[in-house]
Structure 1
Amino acid sequence: MLNSLQKQKKIIIADAEPDSRVETIEYLQARGFHNLAVAADGNQIYEMLRAYQHDPELLGLVIIDEKLPHCQIKELCEFLSHEDEGIFLPFIVLVNEQSKNKTPALESECQRYELVRPYLSAELLMLVEFLLVLKDERFLRYKQKEELISQLAARKLLDAKLEYLVVHDDLTGLLNRRNLEQHLYLVLHEQVKFRQNGVLLFIDLDRFGLINDLEGFDAADRLLIEVVAVIKRAIQAKGLFARVGSDELCLYLENSTFDNARVVAEHICKRLDEFRFAIGNVCYHITASIGIASLKSSKTVKHPGELISRAHQACAIAKSKGRNRVWQYCEDDQAFKERQRDIHWLPLIRDALLNDRFFLVFQPVVGLFDGEISHYEVLIRMRDGDECVIDPGEFIPVAERMGLIHGIDAWVVDKAIDFLTSLPQEFSHIKLAINLSCMAFQDDSIAAFIRQKLDRSWVSGDRLTFEITETAAVGNFEQTLSTINQIRALGCHIALDDFGAGFCSFNYLKIFPAEYVKIDGQFIQNLVNDETDQMLVRSMQQIARKLGKKTIAEYVECPQTIKILREIGINYGQGSIFGKPLEQLSAQSAFRTHALTESQCFS
């Protein structure tokens, strides 16, 4: 049973006999076929079919007389009904009575069916309905086949794209890190055989993150694409060029020396220095830091990651030296030794924080005129895996450079206040001075932490003095001043440590809210023999006294120094002559004896 859409398809009737043609038209119309057209010869059939060349699915079938003038029926059938063309136009060919003994059949190559005259109208109707259904099924099969082919083609395209993305960066089209390392594996293998040299350039854009933050990711992506284009023009297709990070690029130059690689690197820097990245009304100046590492070195490169790491270390040093420069990796370079030192200490510091390998020691600060202990300075120490004690000069600079100093600052504050909490009532007069790093004063978090700790412990803020170095105080004065004022609002005191070391403190001292000024030890250690140091210390004392601040001399080691400091008018002294730093566990028993022991220095 045909549906309405199938009955609406165009049926062309090309019967050369007028009576038969009229009879066929009337019969089909009576059965619901109204989209009928009559063709008198082959030319008219072609004209009618031309209108459907872009919509062949709207055609139904053709009823054609084998004697139709100007018509090559065989060729017409083969051309318009072949399955591969997607037209599938069925033909009912009306043949004469002499073909009566032939068995009607649908030809395999095309949809052509012969109907012998005279035929019954019902026979024609059955054949028309059958061929229309068959046409739709074959057209549906063709569409499914085309869709499958399209899906397979899309899958192949996707597979090819995925295969490309596996080894390339999708933004810049450069090799990615994985592909670069695969190439370097082959290079290292060949280098063992042929002793060929090669050099890797690690290129890192300076302050790329600033543009990323100010202008957004899209602008940063466009910047990276333009930078890659600039570098490509500069290197003129030399070497293997890869993107290994967000703004990090690598260029491997085969059979190259350090000198040749430096020329290429400096040329890249020059071209980038000339480049300007414009976005809106803003124009950015782009520079790059470049590190160079060679396959030929005192330590053999065994893995691609080693070569990349060496070039990356060189790039990091180039950045630390001021950016927009080139630096070569060398194991004997002092900058690399310091970086290796950082790498060595970093896991040890983390382990000490996690496994409580830090401990506190306490050194007295003594009044130079009465011999009484004013307070104790809290100093941090670290134990390694062998229980050896490590001084802070070894690990504090590393912690500051590697971002671990905030954890150490918080640990010291936490343990120092816990120590005061643990003291018996008879030691409630004990006060502590705590060193904080320069990083601690760059935001308000340390002040909030101190407030919370004091609130929980019921320790009076008056028992704590926080020391800040002169260079830290003037480095970011506004923020530092804000943090200090928050700490002083808790009742705590402030001491300006290492005073005089920067030779720029006097301008800030008059407005700096510190109760104590600690004179840097470099002026104290040779005070007995150096009149210049005596003059400088006297100047510092006079200025501090005028500003209402008390002075503390560090590194006091002999009675002669104490005598000179008393003559100058320094209030307090701290050093080995008054007592070496004591461990926390033994400090409580030493508190009462310290004052008596140090008082002997004034006899």
Structure 2
Amino acid sequence: GAPLIVSGQILGCVLALHDMTREQDYIERLSWQASHDALTGLVNRRDFENRLAGAISEAPERSRRHALMYLDLDQFKLVNDTCGHAAGDQLLRQISVLLANELPPGDILARLGGDEFGVLLFDCDADCAAATAERLRATVQDLHFSWDGRPFNISVSIGMVEVANVGMTLEEVLRAADVACYMAKEKGRNRIHFHSEGDTALRERFGEMAWVQRLHAALDQNRFRLHAQEIAPLGDDIPEQGAHIEILLRLADEDGSFVTPQSFIPAAERYGLMAAIDRWVVRNTFATLAARHADPHATPISTCAINLSGATFGDETFLGFMREQFAAHAIAPETICLEITETSAIANLSEAMRFIADLRGLGCRFALDDFGSGMSSFAYLKHLPVDYLKIDGSFVKDMLDDRIDHAMVEMIHHIGKVTGKRTIAEFVESDGILDALKAIGVDYAQGYAIARPQPFDATAVLRGSRSERDATTDSWETLARTLRRKAG
């Protein structure tokens, strides 16, 4: 304020009053937005980790035990891709309300990003934490979520770790919870996995991080190797004019031994290396095909199948890369069949549809691998214009002993016929299975009863077309009959 002076006398003062309510509201709103998720109203990752760090760094003399949970929705991407982001946002809001209602006052629920949530339970022993985790899991499972009349079965995978305010860093606690959640998904989803120092599976999961450096080194040192496994036509109406093969990937480890993909692909997928590995496979397969094409003695290859990961679907530059590779090696796109798994295709449906359309435009064919393993695939098959269905080997290998597996093979083949697609049975490991597949009418077979994988290079000997294969088979059978007669 300022004094009011008239003729040298102070008669009063002038006060300027300013209403700070609006500014205070604005400051509070900014503070809230900095610590909360805009969609769900829950605490965000930064504030959640700050509160967790505070719980860990309390004075050691106050011995307290808390519990940390990571929650990951199992079907969120399916909802998002098939119904759109509005449906995904609505699901996240509903889940947030349900979870918050199940937690005692004072405990913290946060949205960590995407479809991931965090829960911090204060002063909670193992039994209390387990009961709360089970309550959260059951609550999500009981949610009847639908969008435009389409119902979805929603579930959640939960990883949990006990948190002491002594002896653990924030990074160790966060990593343990992340690993436990990953293991819950790996073991079948819709379950709770408790972190344990003696858990072998978790130690192996931690070991994946070492694979990152090994895979980078393998790419830099060109230590990946290509193998090929032949796929045999079973019917007389399949016009294969050369060998039909699938390219398989192996890694030559530091000591020279081969490492199968099952050992390193999970780590490569989790740490974002599959796109680089896919490109290595395409580049080196094309180079080998070009070298074989230049050799008049090499068996011609009519179809070369190459597996691609779900990560490559979202790579906007992959189409240009394929154009470059076709041009650089003079490979006919019609000879290339790209294999994608049904689970990754459905989980990334919109991306998969665009990806397939782009590469089919170049002339490539497509196969849907592991078909039938997800069982939700039938509803989405009409959206995926693929040329081949590869019947999941888990049905094929036991089809002679399990009537349900046999029926599944028949059903998938029938779906293939109805939709105009050829069928390929994997894991064909005996002549009995081969005969059963022929009786059903399956178009192709792949497995040890046909051929084992072998190194794929410019000189690899392949059996080639049907006429060459049958001639070879006939000659061996003639020799066997001759030997039997002589032995008799």
> Structure 1 length as normaliser, TM-score?
0.51
1:236 to 104, 107, 115: 104
Question: Is 1:108 matched with 2:10?
Answer: yes
Deviations along 1:231-268, one digit per CA (max 9) or x if unpaired, are: 44433314344443355433322332221111122334
**Structure 1 residue 349: Cα displacement:** 4.1
Unaligned runs of 5+ in 2: 234-241, 341-366, 398-404, 464-468, 481-488
1:349–1:483 distance in 2 versus 1, CA, 3 Å: farther
2:125 to 248, 257, 261: 257
SS at match of 1:472: strand
Question: Is 1:500 matched with 2:396?
Answer: yes
Identity percentage over the alignment? Answer: 23
Question: Is 1:177 matched with 2:80?
Answer: no
Task: Tell me the distance in 2 between the aligned counterparts of 1:179 and 1:159.
Answer: 17
1:589–1:191 distance in 2 versus 1, CA, 3 Å: same
Give matches, 1:581-592, under 5 Å: 581-582=454-455, 584=457, 587-588=458-459
2:170 to 304, 307, 324: 304
Query: 1:574 corresponds to which residue?
Result: 451
> Structure 2 length as normaliser, TM-score?
0.61
Q: How many residues matched?
A: 415
Query: 1:483 corresponds to which residue?
Result: 386
1:390 to 237, 259, 267: 259
Query: 1:422 corresponds to which residue?
Result: 291
1:438–1:590 distance in 2 versus 1, CA, 3 Å: closer
SS at match of 1:482: coil
Q: Tell which structure's C-alpha radius of gyration is larger.
A: 1
Aligned residue type for 1:426: P
Aligned residue type for 2:105: A
Task: Tell me the distance in 1 between the aligned counterparts of 2:30 and 2:123.
Answer: 32
**Equivalent residues of 1:357, 1:382 under 8 A apart:** yes
Aligned residue type for 1:500: V
SS at match of 2:160: strand
1:538 to 435, 440, 444: 435
Query: 2:224 corresponds to which residue?
Result: 358
Task: Tell me the distance in 2 between the aligned counterparts of 1:244 and 1:462.
Answer: 45
Give matches, 1:58-207, under 5 Å: 105-110=7-12, 145-146=16-17, 149-150=18-19, 158-159=26-27, 161-163=29-31, 165-167=33-35, 174-190=42-58, 192-205=60-73, 207=75
**Structure 1 residue 272: Cα displacement:** 5.3
Query: 1:472 corresponds to which residue?
Result: 370
**Structure 1 residue 341: Cα displacement:** 5.3
Query: 1:122 corresponds to which residue?
Result: none
Task: Tell me the distance in 2 between the aligned counterparts of 1:199 and 1:228.
Answer: 19
**Equivalent residues of 1:377, 1:432 under 8 A apart:** no
**Equivalent residues of 1:360, 1:381 under 8 A apart:** yes
2:306 to 422, 436, 451: 436
**Equivalent residues of 2:72, 2:116 under 8 A apart:** yes
1 or 2 for the larger relative contact order (CA 8 Å, sep ≥6)?
Answer: 2
**Equivalent residues of 2:306, 2:336 under 8 A apart:** no
**Structure 1 residue 293: Cα displacement:** 0.9
SS at match of 1:255: coil
Task: Tell me the distance in 1 between the aligned counterparts of 2:267 and 2:324.
Answer: 28
Question: Alpha carbon RMSD of aligned pairs, Å?
Answer: 5.6
**Equivalent residues of 2:73, 2:156 under 8 A apart:** yes
**Equivalent residues of 2:157, 2:181 under 8 A apart:** yes
Unaligned runs of 5+ in 1: 1-81, 92-104, 112-137, 368-372, 486-493, 524-533, 557-572
SS at match of 2:177: helix
Give matches, 1:360-379, under 5 Å: 360-361=226-227, 378-379=247-248
Aligned residue type for 2:169: H
Query: 2:345 corresponds to which residue?
Result: none
Task: Tell me the distance in 2 between the aligned counterparts of 1:495 and 1:461.
Answer: 20
**Equivalent residues of 2:232, 2:444 under 8 A apart:** no
Aligned residue type for 1:251: V
Deviations along 1:185-224, one digit per CA (max 9) or x if unpaired, are: 3433447545432211234455456676757569937963
Aligned residue type for 2:454: P
**Structure 1 residue 447: Cα displacement:** 10
